[in-house]
Amino acid sequence: MLGNVVTGCSVLAPAGMLVELSSGLDVSIRTAGLLITFGAIMLCVGSPVTAWLTSRIERRTLLTATLAVLALTNIASAFAPDYASLLGIRLIMLAVGALYTPQAAGTGALIVPVQKRGSTIAYIFLGWSLAAAVGLPAITFIASRYGWQAVYGAIGAMSCLSFLLLAWRLPAGLIGAPVDLKTWAAIGRNRMILLLLLITTAQMSGQFVIFTYMGPLLARLTGAGPDPIALVFACYGICGVIGTAIATRIVDSWGAWKTSVLFTSVLFAGVSGWALSAGIYPLMAAAVAIWGIGFASTNSMQQVRLVGAAPALASASISLNTSVLYVGQAIGSAIGGFLYARDLFLANGYVGAAFVAIALTTVILTKPKKA
């Protein structure tokens, strides 16, 4: 779970300090935002490829090595002299970092009873909620006062701590099911898995149309400064932790589909609230809090549903879900950057809500049949 905090901060960091990156590297806000877009593309490609290449490696070795690379590349980012160097380091960072989230979920599934699998995977994914709850506000706070370099240094230090704890506590000898070409072919023939991947893509696209540029959008629409923006990020993340905690408690009794319907509906309400309240800071902050309750819990339910849809394919399907999650980030941040560059600030919310509406409709249509 702590490794997911590190991974989440590494992936999301530019969103919390776009203004500082823009001024410090002498590039536009939209160009700084491309750190997320290009990073998401690398994560999208890297997740299934690395799952295939590393499926026979012992899990503790694999996960600790991934965190060691995240530590080194975050520290290197702190010393990047220009935008091109920072982008190059980020692509290396995320090509390796793509391993962590799906393999952590798969590893968790190996060491708990089947009846605890849903809550365990939700707990592991709680790290992403904490990355938003604590990491993003801290990133905004540190960057506004000490510069973007200090942010990367802090994430690097946290990566070292996570590496040491995981090496100490994770059991040795855990091996997942090998991933080969037959595995991918089986996934391609599984209609439920394909629909679940579509849901992930749509809901992430909708969120990142707004989320990538949330700070600059709040500044433009409400005149908010760094501290009010950090407060909104904190509301988003704290509510994400609350949502994931609730999902973890109810998923084993409710079932993954009902839990997914609930939290995707909450996600849609929050994103729609952002669109409808644009320009009014208190209402936008409240909408982000509602949105936060749904964001991480929805993602963790997707992983639980994928494991349940085809347990034998879980290692590959979860890595592919992580891949399309980043496809959604790339699509959403690209659309969001296009709208932001043309001063279409109000459109971001409505386009985001449309994507999430597609995701919610598909979730409802994937209700499992009774045995």
Q: What digits encode the pLDDT tens for the residues 52-109?
A: 677 678 888 889 999 999 999 999 999 999 999 999 999 999 988 888 887 887 788 7
User: Considering Cα of 270, then 271, then 276, then 280, what sign does the dihedral take?
Assistant: positive
Amino acid at 194: L
Average pLDDT of every residue of the chain: 88
Q: Which of 118, 123, 300 is nearest to 196 (CA)?
A: 300
Q: Is residue 12's pLDDT more than 90?
A: no
Q: Is residue 248's pLDDT more than 80?
A: yes
* C-alpha to C-alpha distance for 223 and 171, rounded to whole angstroms: 50
* C-alpha to C-alpha distance for 249 and 144, rounded to whole angstroms: 37
Give the model confidence (pLDDT) of 94-145 as tens digits: 988 888 887 887 788 788 887 787 778 778 878 887 887 788 889 989 999 9
3-state DSSP call for residue 317?
helix
Q: How is 20-41 classified by DSSP, letter by letter?
A: HHHHHHT--HHHHHHHHHHHHH
Q: What pLDDT is stored for residue 371 in this prediction? A: 53
Residue with tokens 């999902």: 247
Higher pLDDT, 281 or 249: 281
Q: Please compute, for residue 333, the number of CA atoms within 13 A of its CA located in the half-sphere on the CB side.
A: 27
Q: What pLDDT is stored for residue 218 in this prediction? A: 94
**Average of pLDDT values for 21-38?**
91
Dmax (CA) for the chain in angstroms is: 60
Q: How confident is the model at residue 249 (pLDDT cuts 50, 70, 90)?
A: confident
Q: How confident is the model at residue 183 (pLDDT cuts 50, 70, 90)?
A: confident
Q: What pLDDT is stored for residue 64 in this prediction? A: 92
